[in-house]
Structures are given as C-alpha cells and as structure tokens.
C-alpha cells in the first residue's frame, strides 16, 4: 500500500558507476529513520560497463520486488543509452534524473549500432509524461565520485528529499565510510547544491 512517505525508485546504469551503492545508501538512510526499505539489485555482465539496475521500494511493507510498468515514482539513470530501458517503468508525473555519462557499447564502437542522442532520451521521458532532470557530467566537481553527486542531486531536486532529509543521507554516508567520509560527503553536498 502506497503512503505519503512511500517512493518506488528504479536505478539503472552500467558496471563501475557505483549505482548499487546509491541504492544501498538510500536504503540504509531510510532504515535508520524506521522507514521500510526493500532493495533489489540486479547485475548484468559482471564486468565494467555491463548493465546494472536495481529497484528500491521505500515506505511500503509486504511489497514484492518488481516495480510494475509505469510504476516508478523516480528513475535515477547514470548512462544515456541505458536510460532508454527505464522510460517504460516511469509513472506519468514521475521524476527522471539522468546523469549524462556515455559508455559506448561494443556495437557502437564497432560502428554496428548508433548511440542514442540525449534529446531522444529526454523526449521519450516527456512523452511518458515524466519530469526530466538532466545533470551534465561536466557539473561533477573534479575528483569526486559521480554516484554520490547524483545521489545528492536526487535528494536536492526530487521527491526523495521530501522523504529522506539530507542529514539522514549524510549520516548513512558517514557510517558506510567511517575512516574518511569527507570526499564522499563533498560529492553528495555538491549534488544537493546542483539546482541548474
């Protein structure tokens, strides 16, 4: 059963981006606030660059792992071409956060397939009646991890921030990296401030 404090999040990207870490930090922050969190990761190819996706269901108890088609309140995509796979999951009126990194598949590098234009992806999000939020890769401060920057943008610019206060996510980051959390906190805070 959905409540005001529930959110279904679909995450998608490629191996090596730290996408599953985003889901784990969100789930840990939610659980620390006594908000039910069900996290279902899926790894495609186990190598860098293979498909990675996950489903995260917050604030719902006794719920299955699969977000139905047109059921995600929020999609967080960290790679342009993989983002296309997630459009069908976005509910009308949902939010679609896209970090515009490009990882060219082998078929594209060999000239056997075309890489989708960014505008094509954003047009499909709008056609699905979603609100697109685009993060250009050049807005990531140098030397900071992209995944925590994207997490910060999600907290700062989407409904996720209404459910999980930034301080709760910062505390989860500090618990996960207790020896030296500063670089990760800096990335998260930079993402929170990114309001372009």
Whole-angstrom Cα distance, residue 76 to residue 189? 17
Whole-angstrom Cα distance, residue 89 to residue 16? 23
Pick the closest to residue 130 from 168, 81, 96 (CA basis).
Answer: 96
Residue keyed to tokens 């234009």: 117
Q: Assign 62 a pLDDT band (cuts: 50, 70, 90).
A: low
Instruction: Provide the 10 A C-beta neighbour count for residue 55.
Output: 22
Query: ∠145-150-156 over CA atoms, to 5°?
Result: 130
Residue keyed to tokens 């047109």: 70
In 18-173, where do the E strands start and end? Answer: 37-43, 51-58, 72-77, 90-99, 131-135
- Residue-wise pLDDT for 135-181, tens only, equals 999 999 999 999 999 999 999 999 999 999 999 999 999 999 999 89
Which one-letter DSSP state was computed for residue 115?
P
CATH number attached to the domain at 7-193: 3.40.920.10
Residue keyed to tokens 């590098």: 109
- Residue-wise pLDDT for 117-141, tens only, equals 999 999 999 999 999 999 999 999 9
- Residue-wise pLDDT for 4-60, tens only, equals 689 999 999 998 899 999 999 999 999 999 999 999 998 665 556 688 999 999 998
Instruction: Say which residues have a Cβ less than 8 Å from residue 144's Cβ, sequence separation at least 6.
Output: 183, 186, 187, 190
Q: Residue 133, Cα to own-chain centre: how many angstroms?
A: 11
């Amino acid at each position: 059963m959905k409540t005001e404090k529930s959110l279904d999040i679909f995450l998608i990207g490629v191996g090596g981006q730290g996408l599953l870490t985003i889901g784990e930090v969100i789930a840990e922050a939610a659980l620390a606030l006594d908000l039910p969190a069900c996290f279902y990761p899926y790894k495609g190819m186990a190598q860098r660059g293979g498909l990675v996706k996950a489903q995260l269901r917050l604030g719902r108890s006794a719920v299955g792992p699969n977000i139905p088609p047109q059921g995600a309140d929020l999609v967080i995509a960290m790679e342009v071409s993989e983002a296309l796979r997630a459009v069908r999951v976005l509910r009308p009126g949902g939010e679609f956060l896209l970090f515009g990194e490009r990882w060219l598949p082998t078929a594209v590098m060999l000239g056997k397939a075309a890489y989708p234009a960014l505008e094509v992806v954003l047009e499909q999000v709008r056609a699905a009646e979603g609100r697109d939020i685009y993060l250009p890769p050049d807005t990531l401060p140098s030397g900071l991890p992209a995944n925590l920057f994207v997490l910060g943008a999600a907290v700062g610019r989407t409904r996720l921030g209404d459910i999980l206060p930034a301080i709760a996510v910062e505390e989860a980051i500090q618990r996960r990296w207790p020896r030296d959390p500063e670089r990760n906190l800096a990335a998260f805070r930079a993402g929170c401030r990114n309001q372009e």
